[in-house]
Structure 1
Amino acid sequence: MTTGAGGNVITGGTHGTVVQAGHIEHLVVRQAPPPADEVTVAPPFGRRGAPLRGRDALLALLLGASGTHVLYGLGGVGKTSLALEVAGSFAAQGAPVWWVAAQDGGRLAGGMRAVARRLGLGEEELASGQTADLLWERLARLPGRWLLVLDNADDLGLLDGPGSLAAGTGWVRTAPGSGGLVLVTTRDGDLGAWGAGPVLHPLGVLPGDQGGRVLVDRATAGAGPSADAELLAVRLGGLPLALDSAGRYLASVVERPAFLRAPGEPATYAAYLAALGAGDVTVDGDGTLARIWAMSLRLLRDRGHGHAETLLRLLAGFADAPVPLRVFAAGRVDIPPGELWSCLQALDRLGLAALGTDGEPVVSLHPLVRDAYRGERERLSARLVGELGDPEDRDPLWPLLVPHLLDDLGRDVPERAWKAAVSAVHVLDVLGLVREAAAAGRAVRDRAVAALTEHHPLARMARMGHARGLLVEGRVEEALPLLEALTRECVRAEGADDALTLMVRNEYANALQMAQDYERAAVENAEVLALRVGLFGEAHAMTLATRHNLAVTLSMLGRYEEALAELDAVHTAELGLYGPDDPRVLVTRENRACIRRDLGDPEAARPELEAVLAARVRVLDADHPQTLAARFNLATCLDPAAAVPELTAVLDARTRVLGPGHPVTAATRATLEHMARTLPR
């Protein structure tokens, strides 16, 4: 303890002179490096543990490299572990190795001075103010192989030293013509800050198989099969530090006798994964990861990215899936667009998030960062739904939003989030994902009923989505009574002309038609059509959809001329609304062609169905249920010899896409058998 002239007390180690002044006009304080005899530049080989996994190619490259190389990535991703592996190989070959801790200015300057002393610089040279220049002159002349590691150099401003890192005059430079290797570990991969000299290597997280091997290395054989370890590694985001923590946790549990384990304490990879999902365990019991995130955020703030934490919290409010950047468009968040983009780039460089494309620009948050930041419950994605319109319009953003719209529904979720979740079920149906749509419909219905009670208006909407999913699966017998009861309930509670009531009645009419109760389906469709014309007008999308349904029902009743007239009018209106390649227009064209086939003119139907099929392959995909429907209908216009192989291919595809027990698959099988019986023997 040192006492100044005015009675102030300074505690801790002091070096040099302590000065107290009565008035200070301008004061510059620099952190003095520790004395040379208190700085070590020996590699911390004691920190080497289990085998290094997933870095073989980069390790081989570095062992044969010279010049300056930078390992950058997320804290905990294993940069120091890889540097230690390189250092161990150099040391084993007798090459000199120096390890400088670069997390603060004092240790960095002290370490570089210690390396300079090892290279023969005297105290007078060190006191000349030219340490960096003299050090790099010595390194450039040093014969043979050598390794200099600067570890944890996250603040690139410190690496400027007496000059400029980017200009090649700072503490880190390249020794031209030398066989030495300079290896720097950092979170910051900003190309502009590093300049042209160093070679930068992004260090990513480990894939599932390599992450699983890390878990197996740390845990014991009793923790479960390697396949379970891989699943846990994926959930942990492939972050080596998290994998190490989870593996050591499991090892500590498994090695204990069973009677010394707490009830429910996970002892296997599968049990740990389940407990992690339920929030019963954490990979950050000692707060190491929290400190890593805090250090990264502090670095971002120091770089002027003041909105970084706000953005992280917003991203953490989404599901564990790529987030389309369109949800952050100007006006949707309180972050200026330019700053938002620079924040996203900075998060990407530090490994906290990853920018990419999935048909649209997207960003993916590291799953453990999501765990650390519990985001806003009101989803920005749900706000966007109102702007996207009908899922039938097929905005490319819809598929990207689906996992976010279905995520984390509960009591405190706003009304628009429930509506968005029901829209997500519809999107899956539009995409032709039959099983996924049905499963999502059940899940949304269950959550809505549990959170809101069965008769809440939003729960009624979710119940309708569930019934639609049943129809998509072909489970008409289950859907029909649900929709009949829901129709009565909506008419009583909402009114006969309410928008939700009409949506439910529209689904009910579809169910009646699928159940081949065409008379009742026609009555229901006609009543809904009259109400929708009154509410929306003749040319509204919902009006046209109901008019189309009524026309199909009329055709099922054998009233072909009426049906064709209705479909012709719908087709003309839809072309004006959507354009020729819209799937709704294609459905209308297909049904017109099928009526002509049923009227006994397959030759007139064939070119129309061929055009519909070509458009669907182009707009949808070859296995979409609507594409398969066009193939089926076209096959029924062919002679049996040509139809049988085509129907066989359609049956195989429908069995794969819809399942062998789906009614549409069964109908295809029956048609194929009938056609096969007509072939000449």
Structure 2
Amino acid sequence: MTGSGFSTRESDQITLAVPHGTASRRTLWGRDELLDELLAAVRNEGHKQDAGAVHVVQGLGGVGKTSVAVSVAHRLQRETDQVWWIGAQDASRFTGGLTALARQLGVPDEEIAVGRLADQLWRRLSALEEPWLLVVDNADDARLLDGPGRLALGTGLVRPHRSPRGLVLVTSRDGQPGTWGDHAVLHRLTPLGDGDGADVLLDLAGPSAGSREEAAELARRLGGLPLALNTVGRYLAAVGQRPARFRDAGETATFAEFRASLDDGGAFPHPGTATALAGIWRMSLDLLTERGHRCVRPLLEVLANFADAPVPLILADPAVLGEDEAFEGVSGAEIWAALQALAGLGLVDLAAANGVDTVALHPLVRDAHRNPGWYTLNVRLLDKAAESDETGLPEDVERWPLWSALTPHAVHALTFEEGSDDDRVFPNIWTAAMLTARSLHAQGQLSQARKLLDELVPRLGGTLGETHSDTLTAHHNLAVVLHDQGHHDRARAIYEDILTTRRVTLGEHHPGTLTTHNNFASVLQDQGHHDQARAIYEDILTTQRDTLGEHHPSTLTTHHNLASVLDDQGQYDRARAIYEDILDIERDTLGEHHPSTLTTHLSLAVVLHHQGHHDLAAVEVAAVLSARRRVLGPEHPDTLSVQRWLDIISAARDKP
């Protein structure tokens, strides 16, 4: 650095005073632990390994970094007058503040003029024995802190010190460890929880705006972002102080009204809130763009256009993104770097949930960057993900965490209306939606599967026609869910309609026709029509043995169903022999703990119970229960079904 760029008179005009305002007078909710940790560093009560470190309070714009710094500064001003505040929004303000501080500490002008500002300043700060605090606020572009050296190497304009009772506190949106170096201690400032958020709203707006529960719900909708909470709280307080007759149309006066406005897609009633937040986040994106991350803006908008849930990284597929003009020529490495850069500024969070890598957006960041123009690309990303090798089959237990992460986004895309073009987009979403419904059904979430299929079936019928194969498949899957829910009459009617159509379009012996006929017979069986169901199973089984073979999964399913109706008819010996044969085959081909194997194992145990072998049946059912708990979880309907059978068999065994 060849010179500070400031004359003596100019630097003397720069204030190093801590900013005053409401932040210094109000309770800083939810930050006590961090404040105590930072104050301990000044009072020489902290970890010895952190002595002299640069402490960086980092987080999303609007999360309250400056408020934390103000609170620390005002508390320390009760103990010392050596508290200095330097803004780092731009180079002139920052270097001017350093120059002013250096002069205040007695660094001669000639030392500053020859470019020794940083060395002399930090030498004098390190020599201070009384408590002191230097805040460098809004250092979002950390490159300004390099100077002639390197911030990350400890040779920048901000660097570690050797004072026993000093604290260097930097606030920044940049939370990437590589920016600050090993000598820095990063404090990630996260949004407030619902309870603390409710306290902020009640503190500002007062109880007349609603209950604590309503305040907590609004705080959750605002994502716990302190800037939003403070602005909304002040807005509600201002509106609440006016008599109702002087309120304009659309003004909200309560927590519940404000939340309803946001949920209805309305903008912030207080225009200053939206402007402030949008401006903060726009500057963050501008900064990343300047750093060479050319796709951060469209990438954030694509992510924001998904559902309000963590987005699996499989939905940020570089190959699919690259098909769009906005991402032309952008590599996978660049997309990953952009995600990391967005996370570094707190605009997104990269995390693993249930073993699935995801990217999560703050609710207000999502609201601010949602753009219906990306809907078509969102759907293409979903379609590619749903049919990828990574997601596999929806019935595969090991893939359920990924399917669970994809589900809210498939539902959101299917129900999305604004900005969509059904003729062009809908064909790309129905496959993902049907696979998602299959996954929900496999996981035992029958109500959610039915709701999704209830939405999908009529749209498919209206788009493709009622007799199209995809419409029939979706309708068939809906009947399966209804059957499992116990709605036998409706399921039977659907199967009958599909069976009539498939016999005409596919033929009597087509696998699709046989599957529907098999399911239709299963409903008849559950309705007590055992003879009719048995006759259908026997006819289907003969056809499948001839066309598919004895060991084909469809053949085994029909054979299993036949054994089930034989069990219902009291032909226990024959049913038991069939189950034993099927179980041997499934153990060899599928494995001991495959869902089909466990189903057959349970059926065999039930037959043993019906034959009076209660002790043996109880042992077998207990083995199935242990496996299903381990594979499916204790609350899965299939697990609960096994538990009910164990209770029944145990009760029978205990009878005298």
| Shorter-normalised TM range | 0.7 to 0.9
> Higher mean Cα deviation, 531-540 or 92-101?
531-540
1:324 aligns with 2:312: yes
- Cα distance in 1 between the residues matched to 2:462 and 2:261: 23
Q: Which amino acid aligns with 2:370?
A: Y
- Cα distance in 1 between the residues matched to 2:145 and 2:435: 52
Alignment of 1:417-496 (within 5 A): 417-442=429-454, 444=456, 461-485=473-497, 487-488=499-500
Q: 1:647 corresponds to which residue?
A: none
Q: 1:664 corresponds to which residue?
A: none
Contact 1:609-1:633 at 8 Å conserved across structures:
yes
Q: Which amino acid aligns with 1:365?
A: L
Deviations along 1:61-92, whole A, 9 cap, x unmatched?
11221333110111111100111111111223
1:56 aligns with 2:52: no
- Cα distance in 2 between the residues matched to 1:379 and 1:333: 9
Alignment of 1:398-413 (within 5 A): 398-410=403-415, 412=422, 413=425
1:367 aligns with 2:363: yes
1:246 aligns with 2:232: yes
Alignment of 1:258-277 (within 5 A): 258-262=244-248, 265-277=251-263
> Higher mean Cα deviation, 72-81 or 558-567?
558-567
Cα distance change of structure 1 residues 329 and 419 upon mapping to structure 2, 3 Å threshold: closer
Q: Would you tell me which structure has more helix in proportion to its own residues? A: 2
% identity of equivalent residues: 41
* Superposition deviation, residue 320 in structure 1: 2.1
Q: 2:333 corresponds to which residue?
A: 338
Cα distance change of structure 1 residues 464 and 146 upon mapping to structure 2, 3 Å threshold: same
Contact 2:379-2:413 at 8 Å conserved across structures:
no
Q: TM-score, normalised by structure 1?
A: 0.81
> Higher mean Cα deviation, 307-316 or 480-489?
480-489
Q: 1:43 corresponds to which residue?
A: 18
Deviations along 1:454-494, whole A, 9 cap, x unmatched?
77765555544444433333333444444444544665677
Please, what is the CA RMSD of the aligned residues? 3.4
Alignment of 1:107-122 (within 5 A): 107-122=93-108
Aligned match for 1:589, one of 580, 593, 601? 601
- Cα distance in 2 between the residues matched to 1:625 and 1:569: 26
- Cα distance in 2 between the residues matched to 1:529 and 1:30: 91
Q: 2:348 corresponds to which residue?
A: 353
* Superposition deviation, residue 260 in structure 1: 4.1
Q: Which amino acid aligns with 2:358?
A: V
Q: 2:301 corresponds to which residue?
A: 313
Contact 2:137-2:171 at 8 Å conserved across structures:
yes
5+ unaligned residues in a row in structure 1: which ranges? 1-27, 643-678
1:289 aligns with 2:271: no
Cα distance change of structure 1 residues 454 and 192 upon mapping to structure 2, 3 Å threshold: same
Q: Which amino acid aligns with 2:19?
A: P
Q: Which amino acid aligns with 1:118?
A: Q
1:98 aligns with 2:93: no
| Secondary structure of the structure 2 residue equivalent to 1:552 | helix
Cα distance change of structure 1 residues 275 and 639 upon mapping to structure 2, 3 Å threshold: closer
Q: Which amino acid aligns with 2:14?
A: V
Q: Which amino acid aligns with 1:386?
A: E
Alignment of 1:621-636 (within 5 A): 621-636=633-648
Cα distance change of structure 1 residues 382 and 478 upon mapping to structure 2, 3 Å threshold: same
Q: TM-score, normalised by structure 2?
A: 0.83
- Cα distance in 2 between the residues matched to 1:121 and 1:327: 56
Q: 1:130 corresponds to which residue?
A: 116
| Secondary structure of the structure 1 residue equivalent to 2:560 | helix
| Secondary structure of the structure 2 residue equivalent to 1:64 | helix
Deviations along 1:87-138, whole A, 9 cap, x unmatched?
1112233422211110111111111111112222343332121111111122
Q: Which amino acid aligns with 2:406?
A: L
Q: 1:298 corresponds to which residue?
A: 286
Contact 1:552-1:563 at 8 Å conserved across structures:
yes
Q: 1:673 corresponds to which residue?
A: none
| Secondary structure of the structure 1 residue equivalent to 2:147 | coil
Contact 2:125-2:163 at 8 Å conserved across structures:
no
* Superposition deviation, residue 162 in structure 1: 2.4
* Superposition deviation, residue 621 in structure 1: 2.2
1:228 aligns with 2:218: no
- Cα distance in 2 between the residues matched to 1:367 and 1:450: 34
Contact 1:548-1:566 at 8 Å conserved across structures:
yes
Deviations along 1:36-58, whole A, 9 cap, x unmatched?
24422222213626431110110
* Superposition deviation, residue 444 in structure 1: 4.8
Q: Which amino acid aligns with 2:385?
A: L
- Cα distance in 2 between the residues matched to 1:263 and 1:449: 43
* Superposition deviation, residue 268 in structure 1: 2.6
Q: Which amino acid aligns with 1:104?
A: D
| Secondary structure of the structure 2 residue equivalent to 1:204 | coil
Q: 2:386 corresponds to which residue?
A: 385
Q: 1:183 corresponds to which residue?
A: 169
- Cα distance in 2 between the residues matched to 1:272 and 1:363: 28
- Cα distance in 2 between the residues matched to 1:532 and 1:293: 62
Contact 1:168-1:197 at 8 Å conserved across structures:
yes
Contact 2:252-2:269 at 8 Å conserved across structures:
no
Cα distance change of structure 1 residues 504 and 386 upon mapping to structure 2, 3 Å threshold: farther
1:616 aligns with 2:628: yes
* Superposition deviation, residue 215 in structure 1: 2.2
Q: Which amino acid aligns with 2:404?
A: P
Q: 2:48 corresponds to which residue?
A: none
* Superposition deviation, residue 602 in structure 1: 3.5
Cα distance change of structure 1 residues 292 and 528 upon mapping to structure 2, 3 Å threshold: farther
* Superposition deviation, residue 543 in structure 1: 4.8
Q: Which amino acid aligns with 2:600?
A: T
5+ unaligned residues in a row in structure 2: which ranges? 43-51, 323-329, 416-420
| Secondary structure of the structure 1 residue equivalent to 2:565 | helix
Q: Which amino acid aligns with 2:342?
A: L
| Secondary structure of the structure 2 residue equivalent to 1:406 | helix
Deviations along 1:279-312, whole A, 9 cap, x unmatched?
1233784432222222222232333333333432
> Higher mean Cα deviation, 123-132 or 429-438?
429-438
> Higher mean Cα deviation, 232-241 or 280-289?
280-289
- Cα distance in 1 between the residues matched to 2:476 and 2:247: 47
- Cα distance in 2 between the residues matched to 1:80 and 1:167: 25
Deviations along 1:343-381, whole A, 9 cap, x unmatched?
333322222222222223222222222221334441523
| Secondary structure of the structure 2 residue equivalent to 1:92 | coil
* Superposition deviation, residue 32 in structure 1: 5.2
Q: Which amino acid aligns with 2:630?
A: R
Alignment of 1:149-228 (within 5 A): 149-228=135-214
- Cα distance in 1 between the residues matched to 2:554 and 2:589: 12
Count, aligned residues: 617
> Higher mean Cα deviation, 397-406 or 525-534?
525-534
Q: 1:519 corresponds to which residue?
A: 531
Q: Which amino acid aligns with 1:475?
A: H
Cα distance change of structure 1 residues 47 and 638 upon mapping to structure 2, 3 Å threshold: closer
* Superposition deviation, residue 181 in structure 1: 1.4
- Cα distance in 1 between the residues matched to 2:347 and 2:546: 53
